[in-house]
Structure 1
């Protein structure tokens, strides 16, 4: 703790006070010298940084000019274009960093040097003057003769008045000195912390930017050494596969396991339980190909797809029936019980399926190889015909198709490469940096070229757009304050953006019959309730523009409707089934776990109405799937009660996810959360782009086709056996 000037000693004007005062003044002098040095060093750093940016800009221009030499080579031109774009954005990041350094360090510390310390000096001069006056008054009073009563009394009065004046000035000076000693710590630490935060933001943005260049760098590296790399890799794979086959045990329980990171899948014989006759088990040749689980009845027939997308399934051991070595594959459409020949083979299949689920997300485009896990002869598995995925346009091009999205929403800069998710607008790089400084509660900024986008977020930005948002936030521009342009300074843009989104100065005010500034509490509550009701009604209809208008005018995103049992706009949006409306409310701070007077939240409501996409979205956003309503029903119970089979399966898979977190093995803790998050992401993607695929009728039609294909399976085969357990496919 710093030693402060004692006010009691100040009144006494004791030597202890003088000593403490001298030490404090020496500390202020030393602090002034060090601050002056620090400010000068910061200015030198900023000047050097600006010179570095200018040199870097010249070098970037040279790279662009040099790329014209390879204009006939599209590969090299594309790589250099990626690099120049990344370097250009990095220069902008540097400029933002040095600007923040100058404002946080130089300006804040300069305030101490030019304002606080000079005030202390003036107070010091006044204190020194009154100190001299006190000494003179004391000396004059002491020299007064006792025989001259009038002169003695006059000297005593002068000494008393001077001493009181000294005490007031000394106390004020001591207080000012103590306050400065305490406040300078806060100012200095705040200045350095602001600069450190600017550095943190700079490196974080740089890391995100450089990730975008990673594919181009890998592509160029592959082109430089393609022949030797491919030859070496293929030779190692052949030698490894040869060694594995040569050393493999030929016994019945032999198990071949390979790391799924190498792209190797599995194939072999398994017993499959019949759907129509649950006591019949038929021996089929199973394999994992192209992220699908398929089987063949014989080598003369085409393979049948059991699970068409491994990303939407889970696998677990099945120990609740009489037969040994069984496991269960659960997907959205169905659930199937399978049996291996041994415990080792069962574990190998479970591991392989889990590995393929993981590979479906991490190595979708890499080629895979198949490997038999049984020593018995296997039929040749013909390749499956795969439909090509439709070409997906680039996110940047898709977003810029929205009304007004071809230019920055705030300064009209062309080709914006950033966007604010919760506002639904596109931004240039400089305005995006200002939006980041506002805080995520006002604007959540994301890159259109560097970040990954979820489908509901993409539809949100496309559904709103710059024109719609500007009609809301620029409806009443004040006279004398024109909109900034691309050539405006950063300070002008920052002032405009804060006035637009923080102060909401240009949002159209709500018309009110009361013009008096002092409205009653009931009138104010009625106004807020009207906006909340407007947001509430628009959320069910999915009217994004009306919802954005209500929020801009002051509606509470978690407003509860007293006439409908305390429901919030998010719960009402779950009733209406608009996935984008739910995402808009969540991005703007809606509480996903709020429950109405009946104890039902958004997840309960979406489950009751059968909106699978909303169920996935709420689970991704942290909804509590174990919360019960006033009847004691949780979302899973509601789904079973309303016979929404797809949601029942989804909620069970979500609960299975939590159970699998405690499982051991290579794909236990690592593949668990990420895999199920990807499952939810794919569900919401289908809900945004192909909702018919999630309908229960579609599942029933596919199930009928599989049942018809299995109708010819009769007793007497190798898989005919008795099962005393409960049916595992009843999910």
Structure 2
């Protein structure tokens, strides 16, 4: 229970009141000293943190420069780049933490001292001054003699007026001290709570970031283990090679390579005699390349051609000079004398040069034959298979930014967003992504465009919807309501309020059924709810993503069942309609993948009935129950066999075999998916996303018997 100054004791001006005043003034002074100390320590902590961030930023810059040293090794470069980006985001989180700490501690406590204490001090001065005047008036009134009636009356009036003025200032001073005592607890607790909330947000964002990096870390760990194994194997191989070379006497062995019987190439050091008058010998590096004999005097000089066409040359031993192991190469225009280090090397060089001369003549004959074959009819060339390397899949970031408006953050307009919401179909900056995470996954599912793996369906949603389309829905009445959208430099509080009003309260959606999601079950009329549900169902059947996003923004329930359509949901309608992206969009927004209508048909039954292989892949990937039966007792596999959709039958049987194999292996301690099934499943899924025309509902021949169908399957 707080102890405040008693106003009745203030009027009495008793010693108890004076003692309470002194004690309260001492407490205020002590609190001021403590608050000042906390603010100074907070400033030092923030300065140290900013220095840490600066040093950390320099370290990351050095790390990126260091990764450039291994730019030829893509595995090391990609690893360092991804982890450097994650650390860069952690530095950004630290910066936001220090900014929020400074606002929570320094600014709020400073406002407490600057808002109340100056006025308290000024009132205290007047209180002390009037108290001294009251003391003097009382003494003066007591000292006037009894027979001086006029003076006594004047002194009494002065004493009364001074006492009233003193009571007024005393009451005012007590009120301000009591107000300060009540306010300081609120401000101090609010400041500490804001600081702890900033800490909570910091660690929450860090946890989400590290959780997003977990797949990358697992991939890097497996790659690191593979590199470690390769490194050990290469070290052993090099040690063995080193031992063999060390034991071998290589002084007289030529460096000769041969890819066929007559295709001989050789390289090594030879002494070359100058053609000048001094006839000096210089040691050079010789090799045979493209029917030419080339040499270089040192590794710093360019390679020079000695004989440009060996077909015009002849080689022979040279024994007419005093130097040993010499041979001569002669052409029509010139000759050159060369010297090897041993007789074995000389013979190797002579054989290699002669073999190269023979090979040059043979290549000429083969080129003439090839020229003759090119005159064959062009129809023969069509028999040769045309092979081309597969086109690599584009990076998630590059694909996502192709959507309309995706080059800027959907909520604040900052350039180059690196995060996205997969259920809303928008891109955003890192600070807005932290706010989206705090809304919960039922509102926004945030992923990194650079750290997470992306399915092709999700990337297509970002390209088809995108920031411009979603802003056209969620900001339709923003201008009419006089609201101004925050920008990249806006404070976090303004962005947070905007994002909550935009996506949670849906204040700016045109024709929204509800303004507050908390009142969804009580305030929405059934007729309006059914109208929105019908709109969502029709849009899902047609695959109109924009209309679907509009219906969900206006308050349509994603699992609403259509009473005139056998209680089917929008997901079942999308599976029947054949839109893969519509199914993905509904699943990301909370659609129940295992809901079944009045006939017991779920989305997987509908996709199998209509022969939509892409939807079957997607629904299985999202956890659809392939064993669920309808009112006739048929599961999706039975329906696919009855309707004779071969691809779906193959896919469902492979999925069932994989699940049964996984269950049987689990009994013996090993649980895992069959790699063959995963490869087939991945091929079906990618084909459904990138080349759906190839899944053209191939059917069994209905003229064949049931026994033939089973044999074919």
Deviations 1:165-209 (A, max 9, x none): xxxxxxxxxxxxxxx9xxx99x99999698457425304414645
Other structure's SS at 2:664 match: coil
The question of whether the paired residues in 2 share the 8 Å contact of 1:617 and 1:680 is answered with no
Instruction: State which of 502, 508, 511 in structure 2 corresponds to 1:509.
Output: 511
Residue of structure 1 in register with 2:266 after alignment: none
**Change over 3 Å in CA distance of 1:537–1:222 after alignment to 2:** closer
**Change over 3 Å in CA distance of 1:536–1:83 after alignment to 2:** closer
Residue of structure 2 in register with 1:687 after alignment: 688
The question of whether the paired residues in 2 share the 8 Å contact of 1:662 and 1:669 is answered with no
How far residue 674 of structure 1 moved from its aligned partner, in angstroms, is 7.3
Other structure's SS at 2:673 match: helix
The question of whether the paired residues in 2 share the 8 Å contact of 1:86 and 1:210 is answered with no
Separation in 2, partners of 1:468, 1:437: 23
2:44 matches 1:55: no
Residue of structure 1 in register with 2:205 after alignment: 201
Separation in 1, partners of 2:654, 2:226: 40
Separation in 2, partners of 1:728, 1:74: 51
Return the index of the structure with the highest Cα Rg. 2
**Change over 3 Å in CA distance of 1:620–1:71 after alignment to 2:** closer
The question of whether the paired residues in 2 share the 8 Å contact of 1:464 and 1:544 is answered with yes
Residue of structure 1 in register with 2:584 after alignment: 583
The question of whether the paired residues in 1 share the 8 Å contact of 2:476 and 2:510 is answered with yes
Separation in 2, partners of 1:693, 1:455: 17
What stretches of structure 2 of length at least 5 have no aligned partner? 2-32, 114-184, 242-384, 515-521, 702-706
The question of whether the paired residues in 2 share the 8 Å contact of 1:43 and 1:106 is answered with no
How far residue 692 of structure 1 moved from its aligned partner, in angstroms, is 3.2
Separation in 1, partners of 2:659, 2:97: 43
Other structure's SS at 1:671 match: coil
Separation in 2, partners of 1:42, 1:211: 37
**Change over 3 Å in CA distance of 1:72–1:650 after alignment to 2:** closer
Residue of structure 2 in register with 1:538 after alignment: 539
Separation in 2, partners of 1:508, 1:71: 54
Deviations 1:259-312 (A, max 9, x none): xxxxxxxxxxxxxxxxxxxxxxxxxxxxxxxxxxxxxxxxxxxxxxxxxxxxxx
How far residue 95 of structure 1 moved from its aligned partner, in angstroms, is 2.9
Separation in 1, partners of 2:698, 2:709: 23
Separation in 2, partners of 1:635, 1:413: 47
How far residue 616 of structure 1 moved from its aligned partner, in angstroms, is 1.6
**Change over 3 Å in CA distance of 1:637–1:507 after alignment to 2:** same
The question of whether the paired residues in 1 share the 8 Å contact of 2:512 and 2:554 is answered with yes
Residue of structure 2 in register with 1:231 after alignment: 234
Residue of structure 2 in register with 1:644 after alignment: 645
Other structure's SS at 2:398 match: helix
Separation in 2, partners of 1:210, 1:663: 29
Separation in 2, partners of 1:552, 1:666: 47
The question of whether the paired residues in 2 share the 8 Å contact of 1:417 and 1:427 is answered with yes
Separation in 2, partners of 1:227, 1:633: 52
How far residue 82 of structure 1 moved from its aligned partner, in angstroms, is 6.2
How far residue 573 of structure 1 moved from its aligned partner, in angstroms, is 0.3
What are the residue-to-residue correspondences of 1:202-351 with 2, within 5 Å? 202-206=206-210, 208-209=212-213, 231-232=234-235
Residue of structure 1 in register with 2:569 after alignment: 568
Separation in 2, partners of 1:663, 1:472: 50
**Change over 3 Å in CA distance of 1:639–1:191 after alignment to 2:** farther
Separation in 1, partners of 2:572, 2:579: 11
The question of whether the paired residues in 2 share the 8 Å contact of 1:660 and 1:668 is answered with no
**Change over 3 Å in CA distance of 1:218–1:522 after alignment to 2:** closer
Separation in 1, partners of 2:641, 2:700: 16
Other structure's SS at 1:661 match: helix
Separation in 2, partners of 1:604, 1:236: 62
Residue of structure 2 in register with 1:660 after alignment: 661
Deviations 1:646-676 (A, max 9, x none): 2122222222222112334999834327765
The question of whether the paired residues in 2 share the 8 Å contact of 1:421 and 1:444 is answered with yes
Aligned length in residues:
462
**Change over 3 Å in CA distance of 1:218–1:616 after alignment to 2:** closer
The question of whether the paired residues in 2 share the 8 Å contact of 1:456 and 1:685 is answered with no
Separation in 2, partners of 1:558, 1:695: 30
Separation in 1, partners of 2:667, 2:236: 24
The question of whether the paired residues in 1 share the 8 Å contact of 2:215 and 2:452 is answered with no
How far residue 688 of structure 1 moved from its aligned partner, in angstroms, is 1.0
How far residue 551 of structure 1 moved from its aligned partner, in angstroms, is 0.5
The question of whether the paired residues in 1 share the 8 Å contact of 2:688 and 2:695 is answered with yes
The question of whether the paired residues in 1 share the 8 Å contact of 2:594 and 2:603 is answered with yes
Instruction: Give the number of the structure with larger relative contact order, counting CA–CA contacts within 8 Å between residues 6 or more apart.
Output: 1
How far residue 565 of structure 1 moved from its aligned partner, in angstroms, is 1.2
Q: Out of 647-656 and 48-57, give the one that drifted further.
A: 48-57
How far residue 586 of structure 1 moved from its aligned partner, in angstroms, is 0.5
How far residue 562 of structure 1 moved from its aligned partner, in angstroms, is 0.9
How far residue 509 of structure 1 moved from its aligned partner, in angstroms, is 2.3
2:501 matches 1:488: no
Q: TM-score scaled to structure 2, two decimals?
A: 0.54
Separation in 1, partners of 2:218, 2:587: 32
Other structure's SS at 1:397 match: helix
Residue of structure 2 in register with 1:403 after alignment: 404
Residue of structure 2 in register with 1:497 after alignment: 499
Separation in 1, partners of 2:643, 2:488: 55
Q: TM-score scaled to structure 1, two decimals?
A: 0.52
What stretches of structure 1 of length at least 5 have no aligned partner? 5-32, 115-179, 239-383, 513-520, 701-724
What are the residue-to-residue correspondences of 1:603-642 with 2, within 5 Å? 603-642=604-643
